Amino acid sequence: MPLDARKPRRTALDAVHRSLGATMTDFAGWDMPLRYGSERDEHQAVRTAAGLFDLSHMGEITVTGPDAAALLDHALVGNIGALRPGRARYTMICRADGGILDDLIVYRLAGGRPGPAGAADEYLVVANAANADTVLGALTERAAGFDAVVRDDRDAYALLAVQGPASPGILAPLTDVPLADLKYYTGAPGDVAGVPALIARTGYTGEDGFELFVSPGDAERLWAALTEAGAAVGLVPCGLSCRDTLRLEAGMPLYGHELSTALTPFDAGLGRVVKFDKAGDFVGRAALEEAAGRAESAPPRRLVGLVAGGRRVPRAGYAVVAAADGAVIGEVTSGAPSPTLGRPIAMAYVDAAHAEPGTAGVAVDIRGSHEPHEVVALPFYQREK
């Protein structure tokens, strides 16, 4: 569907956001809620109770056909052929030179999902909104010679997420799916509040939670049911602003910040997602084997956590410098005040010589002033399990 590039797209929940008085923002061509009230309150609600997100901007792509798994093994760096029905995998799609085109979650569907009738072997690939066209194009191009169909399903889904420790308790009474059997990074078809959904135990907040893929026509009904069910335990609507601080505390990379075409998964400290031992060749294999060797023998900059000594906030693009002589030793990729730590935090690529946790003399150039920062291991925050 050709779209007017200047006109942001609106999700199926747009009227709900406006009735809630959300501050909206243009995000990757979508008009999305940035926050409803205080983004710090929304952040804390997800850490202590639950938050409800509209993530319908995410890019859903369905891959079906006898060669669906073989195509994904060829097109992506992960071992998708090993994925059992109902399981999900965090993976990446790279260029031939190893540069990251996007990070993805791939679900192997167990059948009975909403939307167009599913084939026996069916995978749902979820791309970042900003990269959905790129991923769709790359998968389509890489599908040549495979008996598989790549389908743009962005209009077939709305995506709602319930995140936070209270989310299982909110969802359980609304669904026929036994949530105790639904482990982290699995997904199952089922009804939620009478709405057919793919219920996935995934998220981007560092908390327990669920992502619910539903038909756009059912989105408002599901939102209302979740809002009502969660009210007693403190569920609040949450915008993209707190989603960013939640994922930053959890040390999760964001494409365009920690990930880019200029970096391989190994440069980003995520070499574990590249599976060289899978069957057949895949796009980027040769370059990634080199990158793996380089990361082993002569690591370039490493992705680290920084905690500010003061109250000024290190932001994306600021230089990391050696406090002693001001030499540039890295660059901040994401930074924000951390509600949980009570101090500003950042992720940054830092020269290996300065990247060990506890390294002294590391500062960030905050608009001309070299502010001391502590180098720490990621993540900043990990929930108790």
Residues that bind another protein (CB under 8 A): 23, 34-35, 38-40, 241, 245, 311-313, 315, 336-337, 344, 367
**Using an 8 Å Cβ cutoff, are 51 and 238 in contact?**
yes
- Least separation in angstroms between CB 260 and another protein: 21
Sort residue 358 into left (φ over 0), alpha (ψ -120 to 50) or beta: left
Please name which of 63, 218, 86 lies closest in space to residue 147, comparing C-alpha atoms: 63
Q: Which is nearer to another protein, 208 or 244 (CB)?
A: 244
* Spatial distance between the Cα atoms of 294 and 297, rounded to a whole number of angstroms: 5
Min dist CB 340 to another protein, Å, is 13
Strand order in the sheet with 235-237: 187-192, 195-200, 209-214, 158-163, 50-54, 235-237
Residue 260 has a CB neighbour count (10 Å cut-off) of: 14
Q: Where are the alpha helices (DSSP H) in the chain?
A: 14-19, 39-48, 68-75, 132-142, 167-171, 219-230, 240-249, 285-297
Separation between Cα atoms, residue 319 and residue 157, nearest integer Å:
40
CB of 185 to another protein, least distance (A): 29
User: Computed from CA positions of residues 166, 179, 153, 229, in that sequence, does the dihedral angle turn out positive or negative?
Assistant: negative
Q: Which of 160, 161, 163, 159 is nearest to 49 (CA)?
A: 163
Nearer to another protein, 95 or 315 (CB): 315
**Nearest-CA neighbor of 83 among 139, 44, 27, 125?**
125
For residue 302, list its beta bridge partners.
350
| Nearest distance in Å: CB 176, another protein | 39
- In 143-284, where does DSSP find H-type helix? 167-171, 219-230, 240-249
Residue number with CB closer to another protein (190 or 305):
305
CB of 162 to another protein, least distance (A): 22
CB of 19 to another protein, least distance (A): 18
Least distance in angstroms from the C-beta of 106 to another protein: 31
Rounded (5°) CA angle 52-58-63: 125
Provide, rounded to whole angstroms, the least separation between the CB of residue 39 and another protein. 5
Closer to another protein by Cβ: residue 87 or 312: 312
CB-nearer residue toward another protein: 39 or 207? 39
Closest to another protein by CB, 28 vs 156, is 28
Of 196 and 337, CB closest to another protein: 337
Cβ proximity to another protein, 248 vs 375, nearer residue:
248
290 assigned to a ligand binding site: no
6 vs 23: CA distance, rounded Å: 19
CA 121 – CA 142 distance, rounded (Å): 18
Annotated binding-site positions: 211
Annotated binding-site positions for substrate: 211
